[in-house]
């Protein structure tokens, strides 16, 4: 497993061992991996009053702040932070955020028109998705300064903070590997293998975070934002400055890179599947006669678009690794078997959604399996694909992410014909916490309408 992590191959390696040994595999002396959909509820689901939650495995989050943040806090503190953040993710907040998101998407489309050379010049569309999503989340969390974004779209470059995000993901991944080694070897492993530039980047991010959070504490925005309640908790002594910083950085990272990954993956899959691409173009371009008609709710009525997004999330989930949980004191039953306390159990998000045990033709990209148009896929266990995880600790930004994905993809398809300009297989990627992606070069030809 350490080697698999080291080579960035965990999602695929775990998929292969499940293909070989079946739906339950012992992946390490104290660790079980499951790919039956029922285990989503058993491992990650809400528990009855008299049952304990399966807490997060500390080894999996060993590189995170020692001061717990939403991702690694124990049950009651997690519930507290989640409630503080929940209002920023409500239906009402999403409605309030829509005009801001639309403004950023308008800027994206305008900038792409400027950059694409009328379809003659190639652009790295993945970078532009990242610019958009970092700008938007930077604005929503007012992490930068009052009412500002990271300005990635206008400058066409990633802000320092976001530019080194991938170093942080690598550092976390190396910590995950070291947690699997005997304790004496861990510090040696980290010294030997965490490259110097990653250590430097981690320090740079820490200094930047301190500066930005300090700035946010001194400047109170007139409009409530994601950070509002966190700042209140800090001011009333219920959250340390490290936790405030850690939660803020998590929101930026979780709220941008994941959605940008999915949009890039979907773009690539469309380029590789012309039939699907044509059908999607047809749906978007016949349904909307003007880009202003494309809203979060009207895009939500485009059934084929929704099918394409679900299928991309299945084939290429942005968070593909297993999220390990620990069997609580007293033990628990999983898959009909009693497991002793302390056992690490997980569902590998990539393997479960790409297994022939759950899907017909799992390797094929076929959105019709979600729209119900093709009877060949009626036996698919759709509930096995849970790219946002499941239960009380599932993704808080799920609705926001869907809104972003639908709006951006519908607008892009409405405005441009997209052609591939990337050599090789873009999806041949390694995973260090997140997929390590190369540039995704495409040519964008503005659609001419009479």
Give 224-258 as a DSSP string: --TTHHHHHHHHTTSS-HHHHHHHHHHHHHHTTHH
Residue 212 CB, shortest distance to ligand HEM, in Å, is 16
Annotated binding residues, as ranges? 395
Element (H, E) at 337: strand 337-339
| CB 18 within 8 Å of CB 12 | no
- Looking at the Cβ atoms of 318 and 348, the one nearer to ligand HEM is 318
Tell me the helices (H) and strands (E) count for the chain, helix number first.
20, 12
Widest pairwise Cα distance in the chain: 70
* Residues with Cβ within 8 Å of residue 335, at least 6 apart in sequence: 24, 34, 36, 38, 39, 42
Please name which of 394, 415, 402 lies closest in space to residue 112, comparing C-alpha atoms.
415
Annotated binding residues for heme, as ranges? 395
- Looking at the Cβ atoms of 257 and 380, the one nearer to ligand HEM is 257
Element (H, E) at 216: helix 196-218
- Looking at the Cβ atoms of 116 and 253, the one nearer to ligand HEM is 253
Residue 340 CB, shortest distance to ligand HEM, in Å, is 23
- Looking at the Cβ atoms of 8 and 138, the one nearer to ligand HEM is 138
Element (H, E) at 77: helix 75-86
User: From its phi and psi, is residue 361 left (phi > 0), alpha (psi between -120 and 50) or beta?
Assistant: left
- Looking at the Cβ atoms of 8 and 397, the one nearer to ligand HEM is 397
- Looking at the Cβ atoms of 34 and 288, the one nearer to ligand HEM is 34
- Calpha distance 327→331 (Å, rounded): 6
| CB 97 within 8 Å of CB 139 | no
Residue 389 CB, shortest distance to ligand HEM, in Å, is 4
- CB neighbourhood size of 87 (10 A): 13
Residue 148 CB, shortest distance to ligand HEM, in Å, is 18
- Give me the residue whose beta carbon is nearest to ligand HEM: 397
- Looking at the Cβ atoms of 116 and 313, the one nearer to ligand HEM is 313
- Looking at the Cβ atoms of 116 and 327, the one nearer to ligand HEM is 327
- CB neighbourhood size of 330 (10 A): 9
Residue 293 CB, shortest distance to ligand HEM, in Å, is 24
Please name which of 69, 39, 57 lies closest in space to residue 389, comparing C-alpha atoms.
39
- Calpha distance 202→171 (Å, rounded): 8
Element (H, E) at 441: strand 441-446
- Looking at the Cβ atoms of 70 and 125, the one nearer to ligand HEM is 70
Residue 259 CB, shortest distance to ligand HEM, in Å, is 4
Residue 423 CB, shortest distance to ligand HEM, in Å, is 26
Residue 305 CB, shortest distance to ligand HEM, in Å, is 15
- CB neighbourhood size of 267 (10 A): 23
Residue 390 CB, shortest distance to ligand HEM, in Å, is 9
* Residues with Cβ within 8 Å of residue 40, at least 6 apart in sequence: 347, 383, 384, 386, 390, 391
Which residues contact ligand HEM (rule: CB under 6 A)? 70-71, 82, 137, 251, 254-255, 258-259, 262, 318-319, 323, 387-389, 393, 395-397, 400-401
């Amino acid at each position: 497993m350490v080697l698999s992590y080291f080579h960035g191959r965990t999602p695929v390696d775990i998929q292969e061992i499940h293909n070989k040994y079946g739906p339950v595999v012992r992946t390490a002396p104290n660790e079980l991996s499951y790919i039956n959909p029922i285990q989503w509820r058993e491992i990650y689901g809400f528990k009855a009053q008299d049952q304990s939650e399966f807490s997060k495995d500390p080894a999996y989050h060993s590189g995170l702040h020692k001061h717990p943040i939403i991702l690694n806090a124990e049950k009651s503190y997690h519930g507290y932070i989640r409630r503080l953040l929940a209002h920023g993710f409500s239906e009402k907040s999403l409605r309030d955020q829509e005009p801001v998101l639309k403004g950023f998407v308008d800027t994206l489309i305008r900038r792409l028109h400027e950059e694409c050379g009328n379809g003659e010049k190639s652009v790295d569309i993945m970078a532009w998705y990242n610019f958009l999503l970092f700008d938007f989340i930077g604005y929503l969390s007012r992490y930068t300064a009052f009412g500002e974004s990271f300005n990635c779209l206008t400058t066409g470059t990633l802000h320092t903070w976001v530019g080194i995000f991938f170093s942080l993901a690598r550092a976390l991944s190396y910590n995950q590997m070291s947690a699997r080694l005997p304790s004496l070897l861990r510090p040696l492993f980290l010294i030997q293998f965490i490259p110097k530039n990653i250590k430097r980047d981690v320090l740079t991010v820490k200094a930047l975070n301190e500066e930005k959070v300090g700035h946010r504490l001194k400047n109170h925005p007139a409009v409530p934002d994601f950070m509002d309640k966190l700042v209140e908790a800090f001011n009333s002594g219920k959250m340390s400055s490290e936790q405030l910083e850690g939660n803020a950085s998590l929101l930026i990272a979780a709220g941008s890179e994941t959605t940008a990954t999915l949009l890039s993956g979907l773009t690539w899959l469309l380029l590789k599947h012309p039939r699907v691409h044509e059908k999607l173009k047809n749906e978007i371009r016949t349904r909307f006669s003007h880009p202003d008609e494309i809203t979060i709710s009207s895009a939500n009525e485009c059934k084929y678009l929704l099918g394409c997004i679900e299928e991309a999330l299945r084939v290429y989930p942005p968070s593909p690794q297993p999220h390990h949980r620990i069997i609580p004191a007293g033990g628990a039953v999983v898959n009909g078997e009693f497991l002793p306390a302390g056992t690490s159990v997980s569902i590998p998000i990539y393997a479960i959604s790409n297994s022939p045990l759950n899907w017909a033709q799992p390797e094929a990209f076929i959105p019709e399996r979600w729209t119900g148009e093709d009877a060949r896929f009626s036996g698919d266990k759709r509930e096995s694909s849970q790219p946002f995880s499941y239960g009380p600790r599932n993704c808080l930004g799920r609705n926001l992410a869907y809104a972003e994905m639908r709006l951006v993809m519908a607008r892009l398809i409405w405005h441009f014909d997209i052609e591939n300009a990337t050599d090789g297989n873009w999806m041949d990627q390694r995973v260090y916490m997140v997929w390590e992606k190369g540039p995704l070069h495409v040519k964008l030809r503005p659609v001419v309408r009479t």
